[in-house]
Amino acid sequence: MQWGKMFQKLVAYKEKHKNTMVPSQYEEDPKLGRWVSTQRNFFKKNELPKERLDQLNSIGFVWRVRKKSKNVKWDDMFQKLVAYKKAYKHTLVPNQHKEDPKFGRWVSAQRQNFRKNGSFSLLVQAMKCHPCSNKKDKLLKERLDKLDSIGFV
């Protein structure tokens, strides 16, 4: 596939997920995951043409990714949740999910972490109205927005 078409897929991914942190093994679009990983490798080797570098920078592309960071792990689990919703048309993953127990526990933890006062949607609305003052608040808002964007309940 042409570079420009893959770039457009990345732009669409960013619009949907609010970041360019496509997992290298992205279940929804494996080619996009490999392509993003390849761009980072070309960048590391200083082999990425300037016009492509400029295009990726123009959308806020993240060049360096810490492999084991909590954000990457969270994003990987979020991608599993997106795939689950696509397959089952809902986000009601059982806490004791037989196929992937860790995933079931992660989804349950998201509900516990984000469903304050019995209403996830009210918390999302409150965060949207409140200007985030620190890095932790901004991360929380980003995660809330992501979960809200897929109709998480």
pLDDT computed for residue 131 by the predictor: 54
**Of 83, 84, 70, which is closest to residue 113 (Cα–Cα)?**
70
Per-residue pLDDT of the chain (153 residues; tens, 9 = 90+): 699 999 999 999 999 988 999 988 888 999 999 999 999 999 888 899 999 998 999 998 888 876 555 666 888 888 889 889 889 999 999 988 888 899 999 998 888 877 653 455 555 555 555 555 555 666 677 787 788 788 887
* DSSP three-state, residue 102: helix
**Of 42, 57, 108, which is closest to residue 81 (Cα–Cα)?**
108
Q: Are residues 138 and 87 in the same domain?
A: yes
Domain final residue pick, 11, 38, 58: 58
pLDDT computed for residue 56 by the predictor: 92
Residue showing tokens 């890095």: 135
pLDDT computed for residue 133 by the predictor: 54
18, 145 contact by CB (below 8 A): yes
Per the structure, the count of domains in the chain is 2
Burial class (CB within 10 angstroms; exposed 0-12, middle 13-18, buried 19+) of 55: middle
Q: Are residues 144 and 78 in the same domain?
A: yes
| Position 64 in a domain | no
